[in-house]
Amino acid sequence: MSGAKTVGHSDEAAIPVEDSSERLGTGGLEKPTLEGYDRVLELIASDPRIAPYSPDWVRTSIPAAGEKIRVLKYLLNRMESRQPQLLDVGSQIGAFALYASRVGFRAAAVDYDFFARRFGPLAEEHGVEYRICDVAIEKLPFENERFDAVTYLDVLEHHSFSPKRVLKEIHRVLAPGGKIVVSTPNHASVYNRVLLAAGKSVNDNFMNFFEGSADLPVYLGHHREYTRSELRRALELTGFKVVECRAVEEDLSSLLYLLRLDFSWRKVMAQRVPLIVRTLGYLWAPFRLPFGRVLWAVGEKSRS
């Protein structure tokens, strides 16, 4: 997506196109690839400390990696420092921050206690400054204007509270000219529109919510999804200049990569719905429809 290649000129029409240029400012480190991200997932999954915490789930999270690779390429092509500082908010298993440290960033990460205590020590051993922080009630544990970039990927929708205070905290820790990259499901996607027209819910699976979280103090799924105009407004209201705000499709190559790792028709059938959806998205992306499954936004902190 980096290298200023896009299809169309308006927010509605612009669909990111992967850049094949060699401008990535990695200073000789490896360039972001699915294979590299997969190696990081395996590093985490194979650590004996992670064994009680779903290592198989860690390994099979590669379909989400396409978005992460797109973010890293985008940022590396726009960073002025040779080793920019990046903060990943809501880092969970720490894979994104750990991989960012391998491709040219000095990476830090935050998440609440459950993830930070389980996955933080491994990330710390590999150069990531992983700190405990409950962004619902705590300030980010970093000084003002420290980071060149902050990533806030697939986190916004999980908040049971307004993201205003988190965005303002991100603004505080960003250096002048620093960028925030946000991704979150698009509530107004064409897929949701079709489901609603068919009388189906666009919320999380009902039984997972109703039974699976019945004994939990907080539901861990999606509390609120956003439209493109809402995401743009949230960034503007917290001091950011909105550089980009688009509806894009989910990455197909990362899902195909998962299926190729250990191919079987049973695995294909298990992934048939996301496979069909991502393939459709790939096919109609050239038509510049503003109804993709994912919202992608970039905000910039003023230099003045």
pLDDT digits (tens, 9 = 90+) for 265-279: 988 999 999 999 999
Integer Cα distance of 128 and 110 in angstroms: 10
Cβ contacts of residue 186 below 8 Å, gap of 6+?
A: 192, 225, 226, 227, 228, 247, 291, 292, 293, 294, 295
pLDDT band at 290 (very low <50, low <70, confident <90, very high): confident
Give the pLDDT of residue 286: 80
Mean pLDDT, rounded, for 106-117: 95
Mean pLDDT, rounded, for 23-52: 82
Minimum mean pLDDT range among 29-33, 62-66, 115-119, 228-232 = 29-33
pLDDT band at 40 (very low <50, low <70, confident <90, very high): very high
Q: Facing residues of 246 across strands?
A: 296
Integer Cα distance of 240 and 84 in angstroms: 20
pLDDT band at 283 (very low <50, low <70, confident <90, very high): confident
Torsion over CA of 221, 225, 231 and 237, rounded to 10 degrees? -70
* 47 has a pLDDT exceeding 50: yes
Cβ contacts of residue 68 below 8 Å, gap of 6+?
A: 32, 37, 95, 96, 99, 153
Question: Which of 1.10.10.10, 3.40.50.1820, 3.40.50.150, 1.20.1250.20 would CATH assign to domain 6-300?
Answer: 3.40.50.150
Q: Report the largest interatomic distance among the alpha carbons of the chain, rounded to a whole angstrom.
A: 56
Give the pLDDT of residue 15: 35
